[in-house]
Structure formats: structure tokens, C-alpha cells
Structure 1
Amino acid sequence: MLQKISKISWLGVFLSIVFYSFLGWLWFTVLFPNQYASTLDKLGLMPANPDPIYFYGPFLTVIPTIITIALLMATLNINTKKAAIEFALIIGLGFLVANTFNIAINPNIPHPMPYGLLVGAYQLVGILISCLIMVAMKKK
């Protein structure tokens, strides 16, 4: 499997990481900030100046996710838009959304279903578009 690293488009990986990180910022601070805060019972209580980890932490956690996805795509020869969409739906629903709901049912999340739907949708959209980016940038 590690031989497939040479088949990875690192430009596609980089663009996917940037996209996924930007989408997270957009999703949780512009599009759905109140819904997100509400799922945590923090509506009106979110800090005006959050700790820096809330800005660079998601970026850092997206890096291994995208590299792993790129390696799997290379190993499985995912090289068409259709195959990328199918792969993203399998990975997105089977791992990312399922894991998001697993996190959501933690007793510290006051509204697990809305949290799972909101964050799971972000994960699914993020991985879907990232897979399409990586296919578009795939080495010939």
C-alpha cells in the first residue's frame, strides 16, 4: 500500500486540506453558528475570542484524514468522478458520519441528534468535495 504514495497528487491533497478547513470555518461560523451553539446548549455563550486551538486544531486534524483518504483512493484506483462520489459516500457515511454520531451520544452533548446531523453533514460534504478535488488533480 505504501508504494501507492507516489501516485498521490500532493497538490490535490493540499487543496483538499485547505478546502475542508475553509468549509469547517464557513459551516460553523458563517452558515450555522447558532444551530451549532444550540446543539451544545451554548447559544449566546460562545466566546468572542476563542482559544487559538479552535482555529488551527481542525486544520491539523484534517491533514491525516485527507492523506489517508488520498492513500486509499490511490490503492483502490479511484480515478473517476463517479467512483470518487461512491467512495466518498461510503467513507463519509460509514466512518465520518457514524463516528460523529458516536461522539454525539456522549452525555456531554446535550442534543445528540441535531449535533450529529449538523456535524455529520459537514463531514459528508467535506469528504465528498475533497474526493472530487483529489480525482480532478490526480496524476496522469
Structure 2
Amino acid sequence: MLHEFGAIPWLGVLVATCVASFAMGGVWFAVLFAKPYARALGRENSPPGKLAPIFLIGPFVCSLVVAITGAILLPLLHIDSAVGAAALGALVGLGYLGSTALNVAINPNIPRPLLYALVNVPYFLLSSIAIHVILVLLR
């Protein structure tokens, strides 16, 4: 498995990370679902403030880790088509990322856990699919 690190398509990883983290995440959380996301967090009455760097860097790094992991898994699983990559992306998106988002939601610090999950889980599903498909296309 260590030889897979040398075969990582870094351009694909970078493009997939930027698409999933900045493009999709920005549109998803700041435009499409900004109000439901704020409501899920109990911040619907708070004025939007300036984001600290961690709120931009953190999701980027997490998406980068997902992309690197996908870049390692795709060849190990002999997936070389967009359809196969989308299937792996859906499995990772729901099985790992989505279930983790739901687990985060069901704690006492999230005032509306189901709404939080309804906003986050589809994002993780779609971004994971996008990451894996981009990785296959840019190999």
C-alpha cells in the first residue's frame, strides 16, 4: 500500500479538494443552506460575522485528507471509471462522512440535530462523489 503514495495524482487531489471544499462548501453553506444551517446551530438571530481562518482552513484540510484517501483507495480497489468512483464516493460520503456528521449532530451542543444532519449529510455525500469522480477523471 505504501507504493500508492507515490502514485497519488496531486493535481486531481488539489482540484478535487478545491471543488469540494471551497466551491461546493461555500455555495452549500453560505448561499443555498445558510439560513437552515444557522438555524440548526441556533444562530439564526446572530448577525453574520467575519470568519476566523480556521473555518476556511479546517474544511480545506479535511477535504484534502478525503481526497488523498480516495486517491489511495481508487487504485487499490481497481476503480477506474467515473461510475465506480461515484459509487465509492457515495459509500464514503454516507458510510463515513455522513454518519460522522449525524454523530456530531446528536450531541447536546447542536440545538436542532436533525436539521443539522439534513443540511450536512447531503453535502458530504455530494462532495465525496465529486472528489472521487474528479480523482478518476484527472488521473
TM over 0.5: yes
1:100 equivalent in structure 2: 101
Q: Which runs of 5+ in 1 are unaligned?
A: none
| Contact 1:27-1:33 within 8 A present in 2 as well | yes
2:90 and 2:126 in contact (8 A); partners too: no
Q: Which residue of 1 aligns with 2:45?
A: 44
Checking the alignment, whether the CA contact within 8 Å between 2:37 and 2:116 is kept in structure 1 is: yes
Q: For residues 7-61 of structure 1, what are the alpha-carbon distances to aligned partners after superposition, in whole Å with 9 as ceiling and x for unaligned?
A: 3211111100111112111111111110100111110315421222112221122
Q: TM-score, normalised by structure 2?
A: 0.92
Q: Is the 8 A contact 1:37 1:46 kept in 2?
A: no
* Structure 2 portions without partners, runs of 5+: none
SS in 1 for 2:60: helix
Q: Which residue identity lines up with residue 73 of structure 2 in the other structure?
A: L
Number of equivalent positions:
138
Query: Measured at CA, do residues 105 and 46 of structure 1 come closer, stay the same or move farther in structure 2, by a change above 3 Å?
Result: farther
1:54-113 per-position Cα deviation (integer Å, ceiling 9, x unaligned): 122211222222111211112112110111111111111110111110110011111111
Whether 1:131 aligns to 2:103 is: no
Q: CA deviation at 1:119?
A: 0.6
Name the TM-score, length of structure 1 as normaliser: 0.92
Looking at structure 1, the residues matched to 78 and 11 of structure 2 have their Cα atoms a distance apart, in angstroms, of 18
**Distance in 1 (alpha carbons) for counterparts of 2:106 and 2:16:** 29
| Equivalent residue, structure 2, for 1:10 | 10
